[in-house]
Structure 1
Amino acid sequence: MRARDILALPGVTGPGNAITDVPGVEVGYTTLIEGSDVRTGVTAILPRSRADLARPCAAGWFSLNGNGEMTGTTWISETGSLALPVTITNTHAVGSCHRGVIEWVARERPEGAHEWLLPVVAETWDGYLNDINGDHVKPAHAVAAIDAARPGPIAEGSVGGGTGMNCYGFKAGSGTASRIVRHGDDSYTVGVFVQANFGSRRELTVLGRHVGPGLLDDNPFDSGAGSIIVVLATDVPLLPGQCTALARRVPLGLARTGTSGSHFSGDVFLAFSTANPGALTSGFPVGAAPYEKIVFVPWGWLDPFYEAVVQAVEEAVLNALVAGRTMEGRAGHRVPGLPVDRLLSAMRG
């Protein structure tokens, strides 16, 4: 079941209603569920397929609230480009995943590994269900998630980096959605992936209905803390600054689900465009002095893409919630899954 199966959500989706609807984008997971206290993992997102990964993508990022981490963002700000796998994990496993990406590049692209590598690694906090200080995520787990990355359908909920994550006091984690946008005679895809771990139960809003206050029972963990990471991919040709502009629209989609942006929630967003392959390179200069060209949609024509971002972000969060199932973890802690029947009743009421 996905949110669109039970709710009348707006917009035209891609065939899989996922970030992998953007051609070339691949997603892989390593999920770690062991004993009573390990509930964590790694999500890997490849901006381009393995054969094409070395070609940079135009990229930008935005932080709604900085109580979180996304490495590599200073380089994105400097160059407007992204050319490595992106990984998402728990707060205390950022270093392991950073090292894992480097090890993967050294194995798969040794010709580039002797240069500098500044991977994007993002995190949210899973310490309620997971033994977050136990050093359970190793570099090999990040390598395995990258190796597992594929196009096509994506599992949602308690998988990959989202394994131990909660949203609006319900079990959530990984979620995705997409939108198709027309630009003249061309058709483009905007895809979103979220690691949803934010929001207080009382805030929850679905399609404009403030349903949270009617779902406050069975609410063992509801601090509003935890964070959300959003990765946005598109094949529409964009400048790096336009990617940043798309990333700045992510909070509007989150707000539709009710959040007011807690101080204790790190909300950090990455957007990239797979168009213009071969541009925005930044390797050491060799040979004749070159030029690069970028084709891009004029700024005044971006509104339909902004709308697609807002809709897809909202739906990706709802997909993570609908996919969540009750989970027990560290110290006997428990987080319930979203009671879909009660949600639907509240929507009708």
Structure 2
Amino acid sequence: MTAGGAERARLSDLGIGSGAFPRGRENAITDVPGVLVGHATVHTDRLHTGVTAIVPEQLDAERRWLPAGLAVGNGFGKLIGATQLQELGALETPILLTSTLSAYRVADALLGHMLGRPGHESTTTLNPVVGETNDGFLSDIRSRALGVADVERALASAASGPVAEGAVGAGAGTVALGFKGGIGTSSRTVPVAGEPCTVGAIVQTNFSGTLSIAGVPMPSAELVPGPTAETVGNSCMIVVATDAPLDGRQLARCARRAIFAMRGVGADFAQGSGDYAIAFSVGAGAPPDDAVLSPMFQATMDAVEEALVNSILAATTTGHADGNVAHAIPLAAVRERLAAAGRV
């Protein structure tokens, strides 16, 4: 589902298969039971920015934390809550994604929201988790325009089912691989210890390199008119959810595989890139033996790679009043190149 109802496409619409494991029903992180996604989007002539909320319903007054893991591909970023997430392997709040310089206001708003929820009447310590990428090429980032109202709007809109992708929420103003980037999602159904489980991913893309789709190069310099869009800040946030009952250490292993998937779409992992993956589980029960995790690792990489591609395929051309433009990737050219390479 693309932002604003624009006629765009997802990777599955182009005829590219899912790999070793089938896609979930919505092919979205919301295929994981209880995981909701909501957006607050701001589009004006000078602002293209927003907040994306990943909300596990299982976090409530009875269950105060979920097992989680963190992987850092390159630490040039402002991931709020990272050290406690890494140290304790515990996720205590929804995960919010936003614009770099608004991250601190968004984290404070998330903290206020959580302290007002049932079960937190006596809370004196809480670890809000907020990730970011830099939307400064298309938005007046120094205005720090986001705050309480946007956070509440994103959280209130969080729902199951299809997830809006592209230039929406935290992806409203981002740029990826020379094209308009944004939010993308995907999922896989995978057996873990003989039980069917779901792994889903959602991404916020704002990084450089040369795009590759299903192994076929798609250089922005050859596919879009005019100058290639500039990636400011050069980062990517990845969130992985599963109902497999993994523990924090195992989820950190999944998170590392999520980072690996960026190379599959052509990321150059530049010096100034902030590349982070958070993985969490809503499952219950004893964690499986590590020996059965290889399918989960493969499914994670496949879902993340597809989510990264979907973030670009779904995005629409976006411009700033000062003249900066990030072009949507032309779908006709993508189909032509995939067909010429025998991929469809």
Q: TM exceeds 0.5? A: yes
Give the one of 239, 242, 247 matched to 1:231: 239
1:24 paired residue number = 34
Q: Is the 8 A contact 1:130 1:330 kept in 2?
A: no
For 1:39-69, what per-residue CA distance to the aligned partner results, in whole angstroms no more than 9, with x for missing partners?
A: 1000111123565684311101011011112
Offset at 1:297?
1.2
CA distance in 1, matches of 2:166, 2:148: 23
For 1:13-34, what per-residue CA distance to the aligned partner results, in whole angstroms no more than 9, with x for missing partners?
A: 1111000100011111100112
2:313 paired residue number = 322
CA distance in 2, matches of 1:108, 1:30: 20
Q: Is the 8 A contact 1:46 1:146 kept in 2?
A: yes
Q: Is the 8 A contact 1:156 1:319 kept in 2?
A: yes
Amino acid at match of 2:26: G
CA distance in 2, matches of 1:266, 1:140: 27
CA distance in 2, matches of 1:77, 1:107: 26
Q: In the superposition, relative to structure 1, how do residues 144 and 50 fare at CA in structure 2: closer, same or farther (>3 Å)? A: farther
Offset at 1:225?
4.7
1:33 paired residue number = 43
Amino acid at match of 1:146: L
Amino acid at match of 1:5: D
1:342 paired residue number = 333
Q: Structure 1: any 5+ residue segments left out of the alignment? A: 277-293
For 1:75-133, what per-residue CA distance to the aligned partner results, in whole angstroms no more than 9, with x for missing partners?
A: 11222111211100000001111111112112223635632121000000000100001
CA distance in 1, matches of 2:272, 2:62: 35
2:155 paired residue number = 146
CA distance in 2, matches of 1:111, 1:273: 22
1:13 paired residue number = 23
Q: In the superposition, relative to structure 1, how do residues 98 and 345 fare at CA in structure 2: closer, same or farther (>3 Å)? A: same
Q: Is the 8 A contact 2:175 2:231 kept in 1?
A: no
Determine whether 1:69 maps to 2:72: no
2:91 paired residue number = 82
Q: Is the 8 A contact 1:29 1:148 kept in 2?
A: yes
Give the one of 61, 67, 82 matched to 1:58: 67
TM-score, scaled relative to structure 2: 0.91
**Runs of 4+ deviating beyond 6 Å:** none
Give the one of 296, 301, 305 matched to 2:292: 301
| Identity across the alignment (%) | 33
More off after superposition, 216-225 vs 166-175: 216-225
Q: Is the 8 A contact 1:124 1:195 kept in 2?
A: yes
More off after superposition, 327-336 vs 158-167: 327-336
Offset at 1:219?
3.4
